[in-house]
Amino acid sequence: MAGTRIERDSMGEVEVPEEAYYGASTQRAVLNFPISGQRFPRRFIRAQALIKKAAAEANLELGLLDPKKAAAIAEAAQEVADGRFDEQFPIDVYQTGSGTSTNTNFNEVIATRASELLGGGRGDRLVHPNDDVNKCQSSNDTIPTAMQLSAAMAIEEDLLPGLERLRVALAAKAAEFMPTVKTGRTHLQDATPIRLGQEFQGYTGQMEESIRRARQAQSELLSVPLGGTAVGTGINAHPEHARRACAILTRATGLEVRETSNHFHAQAALDSVIASHGGLRTIALSLWKIASDIRLMGTGPRAGIGELELPETQPGSSIMPGKVNPVIVESLTMVVARVVGNDSTIGFSQTGSFLELNVMMPVAAVALLESITLLARSADNFATRCVEGLKATSRGPELVEKGLMLATALAPVIGYDEAAKIAKQALKSGRTIRELAREKGLAEADLDKLLDPAKMTEPGLGGGTAGG
């Protein structure tokens, strides 16, 4: 075949593209897994390359690699981490369950590039993919480490900033909307008054907790399986290798990467990944709650609740002129659906945990990284294109005086039963609680005090008992 060269692995000869940095084992995997066309994302490639670089530097410190080879491997791995060779990682995500094909792909590409740096050509083996690049490692510890490290870096670089942007936007709206008193709702029915700013205080609290949960998820991920090699025993690895490599990764990433205290657990199951994604699912559902409330309060503009005016971002209909839809909210809620689906995928991936190894790691890694990316981008987008442009309308305050649950404030004075009668009479007659209470003989000055909506948004006994 024109444009190819012969490469060899333990199974024999294979033709690979002439310009490829990878070798025979990678080519076999390309042929074996023509499934989705989906490759590992850039962030995973970066993490795995950083692990290979850290391994080479740790092996140099331990006297296990020739200094020239170690330097060439480290330089080549850094080039891969920087994105110079992304096209050299062609293997489908739906492949070997341990990710062995991808680990081998990295070993071959880095070995070939390192050989070039030492003066060799493609196909030369001045640096060996297994003996040198993969020294003190196994697919079974580097792939789960790359999965966890890439996700931890994504949380730090993307998710936390996105959540913080949204928290700041919600907190600003909480302060802006605090003077606006509106009707509260429980069970989607009218309840006692609440400040629109208080509702946004609740949303701000959800984001504060989401940031805490993201950091907790990150902490789970930073205890990595590196050093366990094949089955957790550390065979063919120096006892100090993983500790040193983790220290190098800590310096490279700014995150506290630490070797697991139990390799037999870390490689045999996906517990830390499942737990971490559980936190991401909670964050996603918090976002759904906030976005759905804002969408609900923005329904209308005339036939809905209409207490919020959402920013106009694009025409909403191809047939109805002037219609504007809450498209930013809709985008976010679809992200939530995807994250919840990814949570099911990752949970089910635990069924690939047999004895000493999980063999559904690639799909779990991709699902985890996708969730982080989607949440980060949608949170930032929601803050920028929706929350920051929200406006309170006059509709909320206008409806407060007509609210039936103002009768709650009368209960301490006339009793629950009499207050309930007034509320029901007001509903039937269309009259206000104030009008009917006045007819019951309550003085106007007392009504002004009892039925002050702003006072009813504060804690204390003056507002009477409350029901859910």
Residues in contact with 20: Cβ distance below 8 Å, sequence separation at least 6, in sequence order? 26, 27, 88, 122
C-alpha 347/C-alpha 454 separation (Å) is: 47
Q: What type of residue sits at position 316?
A: G
The DSSP code for 407 is: G
- Considering the candidates 10, 187, 261, 318, report the single residue annotated as catalytic: 187
Known catalytic residue at 263? no
| Residues 110, 50 contacting (CB under 8 angstroms) | no
């679809």: which residue's tokens? 334
187 alpha carbon, distance to own chain's centre? 30
C-alpha 381/C-alpha 290 separation (Å) is: 14
C-alpha 133/C-alpha 110 separation (Å) is: 7
C-alpha 421/C-alpha 403 separation (Å) is: 14
C-alpha 71/C-alpha 79 separation (Å) is: 12
Query: Reduced to 3 states, what is the DSSP secondary structure of residue 16?
Result: strand
DSSP string, 169-202: HHHHHHHHHTT-EEEEEETTEEEEEEEHHHHHHH
Q: Which residues pair with 308 in a beta bridge?
A: 392
Q: Which of 423, 405, 414 is nearest to 193 (CA)?
A: 405
Known catalytic residue at 25? no
| Residues 398, 182 contacting (CB under 8 angstroms) | no
Measured from the Cβ of residue 459, the count of other Cβ atoms closer than 10 Å reads 6
C-alpha 96/C-alpha 143 separation (Å) is: 11
C-alpha 270/C-alpha 265 separation (Å) is: 9
Print burial letters for 353-377: b (CB count within 10 Å at least 16), e (below 16). Answer: beeebbbbbbbbbbbbbbbbbbbbb
Containing 411, the helix (H) or strand (E) segment is: helix 411-414
Q: Tell me how many degrees the CA angle 359-363-368 measures, rounded to the nearest 5.
A: 120
| Backbone phi and psi for residue 299, each to the nearest 5 degrees, phi listed first | -65, 150
| Residues 295, 289 contacting (CB under 8 angstroms) | no
Instruction: Please report the sign of the dihedral spanned by the C-alpha atoms of residue 468, residue 201, residue 156, residue 362.
Output: positive
- Considering the candidates 317, 344, 394, 429, report the single residue annotated as catalytic: 317
Q: Which of 318, 251, 328 is nearest to 292 (CA)?
A: 328
- Catalytic residue list: 187, 317
